[in-house]
Amino acid sequence: MDIVLGSKNGSKKRSIEIALAELGITDYTISCIDVPSRVSSKPINEEILLGAQNRNIALINYCQKQQIDYDLLISIEGGYEQIEDKYFVITYADLLTKDGQRFTGKSQGMQISKKMFEWVQNGKSLNKVIESIIGTNGNKTKSGITGYLSNGRYSRDEFDADAIIMALTSMKNNELYLKLDGECGSRNGK
């Protein structure tokens, strides 16, 4: 399977490798292409999924212009979600097949405080704060916010992999979705 990833972020590539291993997929290549998300650097709510979808639109254009053959485009966008008075770090994965089918996955959400969410809303970086606390650089591409808040238990790679696993599972089991859709349609609300 030839995969094109809409980022050169090593953490995102590792998350795909984790997801593929989890699903027993071993025959693949991953090419990394840097494409824009066209959303803010700290996307919130609907902007997160839009960022992943925008990356795949840019990837399609890039692959067509460069005549790059692929089986699957994958774009990943992490951000922040507010549901009522709760706040989360989440990730979306957007997958596009060669024939144009789209599959979307969402990670679990890791709760953050209102103060952290407001920090991000004001355009500031939680990763920069974490870096100053732990005395290193590059937290965004290493353990990430989830790695820090879980004390190393749940790195960004693993967190993002969950979203990819959900999207790949939908893709691999599409016939089950179609069967259930058909049954829901044929039962007329019963």
Structure tokens at 142: 């290493």
pTM of the model: 0.93
Distance CA 75, CA 85 (A): 29
Paired with 170 in beta bridges are none
- Sorted by where each starts, the structural domains of the chain and their CATH numbers stand as 2-112+158-184 (3.90.950.10)
Query: String of b and e for 78-112 (b: at least 16 CB within 10 Å)?
Result: bbbbeeeeebbbbbbbbbbeeeeeebebbbebbeb
Q: Which helix (H) or strand (E) holds 72?
A: strand 72-83
Question: With the C-alpha atoms ordered 119, 148, 52, 58, is the resulting torsion angle positive or negative?
Answer: positive
Q: Mean pLDDT score of the chain, rounded to an integer?
A: 95
Distance CA 53, CA 109 (A): 19
Q: Which of 117, 107, 98 is nearest to 52 (CA)?
A: 107
Q: What is the pLDDT of residues 96-148, one digit of tens each?
A: 999 999 999 999 999 999 999 999 999 999 999 999 999 999 877 788 999 99
pLDDT recorded at residue 104: 98
pLDDT recorded at residue 140: 79
DSSP 87-98: EEEEEEEEEEET
Q: Would the pLDDT of 187 be above 80?
A: no
Report yes or no: 19 and 165 within 8 Å, Cβ to Cβ.
Answer: yes
Q: What is the pLDDT of residues 154-166, one digit of tens each?
A: 999 999 999 999 9
DSSP character at residue 45: T
The mean pLDDT of 69-97, rounded to a whole number, is 98
Q: Which of 7, 4, 74 is nearest to 36 (CA)?
A: 7
